[in-house]
Structure 1
Amino acid sequence: MPVRHDPMSLPPEAARGSVRRITVVGEEILSRPCQEVTEFGTAELSALIDDMFLTMYVADGAGLAANQVDVDLRLFVYDCPDDDGVRHIGHIINPVLDLPDPGSRRLVEDSEGCLSVPGATMTVPRTDRAVVRGFDKDGDPLVIEGTGYFARCLQHETDHLIGHTYLDRLSKRDRKDALRQMEDRREDVFARRERKAGSLARQDGGTPGP
């Protein structure tokens, strides 16, 4: 999910992280369900979350799933506004999506992109409310409720962890259109990410990760 962030207001996780390569649609890890996290409170898990935050910001993302950095675990991070402008920042592990009952849900068709489909945007219907239940990095239970754009983000990232991208919600015709957009724009997107990684590294006085 794409969004622009103010580099002066990034959370501390980003300062601790290193940039990782973002996987691209067509890579096998994006098309299979991710594995449950079974060990909590580890240095490796904390480092992964830090890396995912920084990688997300370099790519101007509102959310990022672990398989998007080539890690086969049920985990995503997010820094996403809702439709009221409230900023939501965090991570969730082993998430389970809870949508409203069909009779009470409202589908909203809006533009959606993906960091693993660089440069493409398409209209995707999503419910306007969503709840995700899971755990934080220490194994404590989490319940995250979202409306509007944040609800869209929660649904988008949870989809990743079951092996789906938003392309899987499109018609064949629209999917081909999105892939054409990606082919036309991906190199520009990659160049922009490299420039931003370099800019953040200069601000920190260091160098970006691989």
Structure 2
Amino acid sequence: MSEPHSHASDTEARIFVQGQPVDNYPDFAPEAARGETLRITVVGEEVLHRPCAEITEFGTPELTKLIDDMFHTMYVADGVGLAANQVDVGIRLFVYDCTDEDGNRHVGHILNPVLDELPAADRHLDEAGEGCLSVPGPHKDLARPDHAVARGVDRDGNPVVVEGHGYFARCLQHETDHLNGYLYIDRLSKRDRKDALKKMESMKDEVFARRAEKAAKLAG
């Protein structure tokens, strides 16, 4: 998911890593320093439009390397979340570094995530702008529940539970959608989806140039 236009909140911020509170954390996840920039797939590529495979092997060097590269690539693209199929790997994994409306920062990765089915009484929709690194450029308003709980495992197969409210809830839902083969524009009206794709065509070259510049800067 792409960076929102603005963050809210003057309240005292907290930091959560893998769903657990920590006292402090660097500006960028340490994984990013070990990673390399990968190409981000774009709407229309097959890998984005089919369900991703469950991960059955954990703790492998290949999985660790992929997570490192995904964090690095997410920061290069000014994202707050990135799914594996957005770097052309069709497995159920996403990484995130997302600030919610209360100023709390959430950082981590999750494999094989499943979102809790919220009771109807707890489903409160929040309509806000949403963008996607695989739809480079445009943002569109989209209503999603303002609370989400994702359950899965970490790279070593240990259970992980991540809870989000507001913008971070949107991030968890957006990235899980990716793993199920859907993009946020698939949830828009036909008119809004067409408009988003039209705007993407006019904006994508500038977005790609900005990413390339940032990748070169981080590499240097």
1:136 and 2:154 matched? yes
Greater shift after overlay, 171-180 or 93-102?
Answer: 93-102
Give the corresponding residue for 1:150. Answer: 168
Q: 1:159 aligns with which of 160, 170, 177?
A: 177
8 Å CA contact 1:108–1:127 kept in 2: the answer is yes
1:179 and 2:179 matched? no
- Between the aligned partners of 1:81 and 1:100, the Cα distance in structure 2 is 22
Q: What is the identity, as a one-letter code, of the residue corresponding to 2:137?
A: G
8 Å CA contact 1:107–1:128 kept in 2: the answer is yes
Give the corresponding residue for 1:122. Answer: 140
1:64 and 2:64 matched? no
Q: What is the identity, as a one-letter code, of the residue corresponding to 2:50?
A: R
* Structure 2 residue matching 1:137: 3-state secondary structure: coil
- State the Cα deviation string for residues 74-123 of structure 1 (Å, max 9, x = none): 00000001111111000000000114212221000000000000001101
* Structure 1 residue matching 2:42: 3-state secondary structure: coil
Q: What is the identity, as a one-letter code, of the residue corresponding to 1:163?
A: G
Note the 1:79-94 alignment, pairs <5 A.
79-94=97-112
Tell me how large the CA RMSD over aligned residues is.
Answer: 1.0
* Structure 1 residue matching 2:127: 3-state secondary structure: strand
Give the corresponding residue for 2:213. Answer: 195
**How many matched pairs?**
199
1:109 and 2:165 matched? no
- State the Cα deviation string for residues 15-69 of structure 1 (Å, max 9, x = none): 0001000000000000000000010000000000000000000000000000000
* Structure 2 residue matching 1:118: 3-state secondary structure: strand
Q: CA deviation at 1:11?
A: 1.6
Q: What is the identity, as a one-letter code, of the residue corresponding to 2:100?
A: D
* Aligned-pair identity (%): 66
8 Å CA contact 1:99–1:129 kept in 2: the answer is no
- Between the aligned partners of 2:193 and 2:98, the Cα distance in structure 1 is 25
- Between the aligned partners of 1:11 and 1:107, the Cα distance in structure 2 is 30
- Between the aligned partners of 1:115 and 1:3, the Cα distance in structure 2 is 9
- Between the aligned partners of 1:118 and 1:73, the Cα distance in structure 2 is 22
Give the corresponding residue for 2:33. Answer: 15
* Structure 2 residue matching 1:61: 3-state secondary structure: coil
8 Å CA contact 1:99–1:127 kept in 2: the answer is no
Gaps of 5+ in 1: 203-210
- Between the aligned partners of 2:194 and 2:60, the Cα distance in structure 1 is 41
